[in-house]
Structure 1
Amino acid sequence: MNLADILAEAIRNGGSVDIDAVPQPDLAEAYAIQSAILGRLSIDPKGYKLSLRSDGVLSAPLLSVTEAASFPYQPGLKLEVEIALVLGRDLPVRAEPYARQEIRDTIAAVHIGIELVRSRYAGGPQGRTALLVADLMSNAGYRLGPALDADVLDEGRADDLRIIAGDQPLFDAPGAHPDSDPLAALVAYANEAGRATRTLRQGMVVTTGSLCGGLTLPSPATVSISLGRTTWRMDIVE
């Protein structure tokens, strides 16, 4: 089996694979594998995750985007609280660079975003960037929570964030974006001449980093998330 088949099967059945026993792609091959996985799973992505690095932006499609307040538990599942950006219009590739304010003006809505992540590699991607990208950057699904005020997009913003799973506290600290700017990765990606042309379309959800890192969910539970004055609950179910 090729890597797209291996990963698609692991996504379907909740399984894991030995990272050293699979083909080792380069980055260009990893993006082709992403597309192949979507085809095998018959998924037309409704959103993308972006990760700003020193040499560019890594991207991956979200396997699902929904407002449903539940998600099935899987061993190794982690939760990340993020800021979800809903695009109000297309951002096509163009010669003239997009400025931050122009990008901000295209955001039609901002929500609490809950990314569920699970590496399909036993032991995780182990710093192997191409394998991380091929595995959709560990995305397992995405949930849209309540709408937030647009000022959460301000640079350097850090609202109080509290996350409790059942009766177990998982996080209680200011929720700071890893780039200090939730739009930085989107601005950089929008200005990449070689990016895929259909990734930034009207209505799509874009997420650019966790406010709390990845929090392991040891078992099914109701998760309570409070960001600033906004609270939401979702069920991680059997």
Structure 2
Amino acid sequence: MTDSIIEQAADLLVAIRRGAPKLAGLGAAAPRTEAEAWAVQREVLRRLGATAGGWKCAAPPGKPASGAMLDAAGLRPAPARWPVPPGQKIGIETEIAFRLGRGLPKRATPYAREEVLDAVAAAFPAMEMVESRYLDPAAVSPLEAMADSIAHAGLVLGADVPGWRGMDLAGLTVRQTCGGAVQVEKVGGNPSGDPVTPLVWLANHLPTLGLQLEAGQVVTTGSCTGLLWVDGGQRVTGGFAGFGEVVVDLD
């Protein structure tokens, strides 16, 4: 039954990515376990001929942690252009991301925070582009959201930040503008508090699923701005004081 659910869910989600109408939910094909939700993500990427270029993750205090694979083809350096169909909007979130310098394979004991940080080659600002395959992403279950890679559409990567290890990443001021108007400006905002927290969680959680962080992969650690929906035809900038910014032109 599990294999059948994974296949059916992947059928539906891949069809939407290829132009079929969005769905209210996966219905009988909805995953029942976290392992099934991750398996659907993997199957969708496989069918698209894609590879995992990285991950998104969050580990909010008192709430379930979550994560998703990122299609390597959707990782783009800033400045970037991003298509938005006429009459539609796209969600944009400004985040802190990391690039792994070496992999973190499965082992008998969990990786400590400093061990995970030692494996990081770079940190930088990023903008996640958000587009759900559901009609109302807030109406589906958390496992259905995970099966759809938590509405991930792509990730625009800012420049590597020198000296990031000495910065208070949890206390940076984040700012996002659209068409020159400020949408959000505040201190902090990462859903996990410290952006390193979900990175450490992911490093230790992936091996339980038969996966691992690999050298060169990018990990983005949750929106510091909240999800902001914007129309096409505008320039969006997002970044952090002393940590650089990302520019995306929406076509």
TM-score, normalised via structure 2 length: 0.84
C-alpha contact (below 8 Å) 1:7/1:37 kept by paired residues = yes
- Residue in structure 2 matched with residue 71 of structure 1 by the alignment: 82
Find out whether 1:171 has 2:184 as its counterpart.
yes
Of all paired residues, the percent bearing the same amino acid is 31
Q: Which has the higher helix share?
A: 2
Q: Which amino acid counterpart does residue 232 of structure 1 have in structure 2?
A: V
Q: Residues 111-126 of structure 1: matches in 2 within 5 Å? A: 111-126=124-139
Instruction: Give SS of 1:195's match.
Output: helix
Shift of 1:190: 2.0
Structure 1 residue runs of 5 or longer lacking an equivalent are none
Deviations 1:63-108 (A, max 9, x none): 2212151222153420011111000101011112211111111110
Find out whether 1:144 has 2:157 as its counterpart.
yes
TM-score, normalised via structure 1 length: 0.89
Partners of 2:216 and 2:206 in 1: CA distance: 22
- Residue in structure 2 matched with residue 17 of structure 1 by the alignment: 23
Q: Which amino acid counterpart does residue 183 of structure 1 have in structure 2?
A: V
Aligned length: 236
Go from structure 1 to structure 2 and tell me whether the alpha carbon gap of 1:208 and 1:195 turns closer, same or farther (over 3 Å shift).
farther
Q: Which amino acid counterpart does residue 70 of structure 2 have in structure 1?
A: L
- Residue in structure 1 matched with residue 212 of structure 2 by the alignment: 199
Partners of 1:93 and 1:60 in 2: CA distance: 18
CA-based RMSD: 2.3
Q: Residues 151-230 of structure 1: matches in 2 within 5 Å? A: 151=165, 154=168, 157-192=170-205, 194-229=207-242, 230=244
C-alpha contact (below 8 Å) 1:79/1:214 kept by paired residues = yes
- Residue in structure 2 matched with residue 45 of structure 1 by the alignment: 52
Hey, which bits of structure 1, 4+ residues long, moved more than 6 A?
A: none
Structure 2 residue runs of 5 or longer lacking an equivalent are 1-6
Q: Which amino acid counterpart does residue 118 of structure 2 have in structure 1?
A: D
